[in-house]
Structure 1
């Protein structure tokens, strides 16, 4: 296992280099000129200002030169300076990354819990009303556009019913907890701010539910299919013949083995949620990487776009590696050498 992990870790920088190269080329060959967002459209008619700006931001250099300079700076942790915020991109991402991670972790937690419960119930009451409702809920969750479900839950639970707060990470009248981890839930607890902690949790419910609905749909369908397959195995029939209760058979014998294929889905889902949180963060005014990416794309902020791409690519590669390791640890029958050869 150690050899496999080392080889995967060695390969990760090469894969990430490919992601960086593609992102860099795409931003370079874009039709729009980033100088428009840097100096403003009016100043584009001033040749002196344009030339100074190109030299200031390194836009007068050739593509290979800019690429090599960027890679050299990236080794030291320098992702360049944002055209829009005038701050280092790495600093912008470090400030916003905790907000996205907090949202994604909450979405994964809710999505996994509800997905497993729905999957087990659907398998237990196969082809019955509960199964049909669970499958419909999963289908809608896996296929409904995020902007539609986000606006819908905001309108119902925040505007109409007033049960939950609207956009943002914390109430506008509250003071954000002192920065320690960047996770408002953790920082509020560390500061002993129980009112702030409650406000943060309430603000998490709607965006995490919307983002996690996709996970719920995928997990529930996977668990249902795996449970139906496991429940037909001989050892399940033997357990029932020995007098094992229905709950024990479902949880201890069936679910435990049915969850193995779901691990792979959860790993990919985590990376997907990080890169797919753009619409959710935009709808709920969540100050994370997703909203940062939208602003960067609108402002033709090339360094920020490449920086966000690096974070998304790294998240996908790391989650993929951790998923393979977890799968091998949970199921001893899985040989990492076989995974590598495949």
Structure 2
């Protein structure tokens, strides 16, 4: 297992290079002229302004030259300058990534815990009304459109009932806590600002719950199916024959083995949501990577688009690595090479 992890770590730079190459090439062959977004349609007829803009942003160079320059800068931590914000892309991403990570971590925790609980419940009471209700909830979690669910809960809990705050990470009159991790909940706690912590946590509840509901549906169905399969295995039947209680067998034997495929889903779901939480971030005015990617795509901001793609690809690589480590912890056969 250790050798496998080392090989994967050593392969990561080459995989990142592949991601960068694909992202760069795709951004260059898309339709649309970024110059129009940079200088405006009216200025496109002025050759002097067009030539100056091309020289400033490096658009007058050939594709291989731009690619070589981009790789050289990327090695030094420079992702280029955003056409839209006129700020370094790395700086833009460093400000927005913590917001997305805070949202995604909360969503995966909510969705994962709720999904496992519902899956265990459905497996324990298989083919009963409890199982039917859980499967119905899981189906809605997987099929209900995210934008509709987000608007619905925002209207109910914020507008009508007024028990939870509206969009944003904090109220408009509240200043952000001093930057330490970028997570407003953690930073406010570190600063001893407990009122601000409660406010940040309240703002996090609705978007995290909406985003986590999709995770709940996927995890609940997977845990239920995995546990039903595991509970019919010989080692489980042997534990029952030895007098082990139903819940003990269910949790100690069934759940532990059912979590193995669930880890893969949670790992890749986490990575996907980092760049896939676009609708949730838009509805709740959450200043994260997703909304940044949408704005970049609308304005043909190639450096920003490539930067977001690199972050998303790197997130998948890290999630895959961490999933393998978690596999080894949960399943001893992986550590010994028996699986």
Query: Same fold by TM (over 0.5)?
Result: yes
Residue number in structure 2 paired with 1:68: 68
Equivalences, count: 339
Instruction: Return the TM-score normalized by structure 1.
Output: 0.95
* Cα distance change on mapping 1:322 and 1:62 into 2, 3 Å: same
Q: Which moved more, 1:170-179 or 1:67-76?
A: 170-179
Give the match for residue 221 of structure 2: 221
Where do 5+ consecutive residues of structure 2 fail to align?
none
The whole-number CA distance in structure 1 between the counterparts of 2:337 and 2:71 is 32
Question: For 1:303-314, what aligned pairs fall within 5 Å after superposition?
Answer: 303-314=303-314
Task: Report the Cα distance in structure 2 between the residues aligned to 1:144 and 1:233, rounded to whole angstroms.
Answer: 34
Bigger drift between 90-99 and 172-181 goes to 172-181
Separation of aligned partners in 1, 2:140 and 2:18: 35
My pick for the range that moved more, 233-242 or 325-334, is 233-242
Rounded Cα–Cα distance in structure 2 between residues aligned with 1:151 and 1:47: 47
Alpha-carbon contact 2:116-2:223 (below 8 Å) kept: yes
* Aligned 8 A contact 2:256 2:330 in 1: no
Return the alpha-carbon distance in structure 1 between the equivalents of residues 236 and 280 of structure 2: 42
Q: Give the equivalent residue in structure 2 for 1:105.
A: 105
Cα drift, residue 336 of structure 1: 8.1
| Native 8 Å contact 1:4 1:336 kept in 2 | no
| Residues 177-233 of structure 1: per-residue CA shift (max 9 Å, x gap) | 111111101100011111110111111111111111111111111110111112223
Residues 71-128 of structure 1 show CA distances to partners (whole Å, capped at 9, x for unaligned) of: 0110011000000111110011111111010001000100001000100111111111
1:189 aligns with 189
1:9-48 equivalent positions in 2, closer than 5 A: 9-48=9-48
User: Paired residue for 1:295?
Assistant: 295
Q: State how far apart, in whole Å, the 1-side matches of 2:329 and 2:62 are.
A: 49
Distance 1:186 1:252, change over 3 A: same
- Structure-2 separation of matches of 1:272 and 1:319: 10
Q: Which residue matches 1:260?
A: 260
State how far apart, in whole Å, the 2-side matches of 1:338 and 1:29 are. 46
Query: How has the CA–CA distance of structure 1 residues 42 and 338 changed in structure 2, closer, same or farther, with 3 Å as cutoff?
Result: farther
Report if aligned partners of 1:23, 1:309 keep a CA contact under 8 Å in 2: yes
* Cα displacement string for residues 238-281 of structure 1 (whole angstroms, at most 9, x for unaligned residues): 33344433332222232122212211111111111112111111
Partner SS, residue 310 of structure 1 = helix
Structure 1, unpaired ranges of 5+ = none
SS at match of 1:334: helix
1:177 and 2:165 matched: no
Cα contact 1:167–1:203 (8 A) shared by 2: yes
1:92 corresponds in structure 2 to 92
Aligned-residue offset at 1:173: 2.2
RMSD: 1.6
Q: Which deviates the most, 288-297 or 17-26?
A: 17-26
1:79 and 2:79 are equivalent in the alignment: yes
How far residue 337 of structure 1 moved from its aligned partner, in angstroms, is 6.4
Q: Give the Cα separation in 1 of the matches to 2:173 and 2:126.
A: 49
| Partners of 1:282 and 1:329 in 2: CA distance | 37
Cα distance in 2 for partners of 1:267, 1:30 equals 31
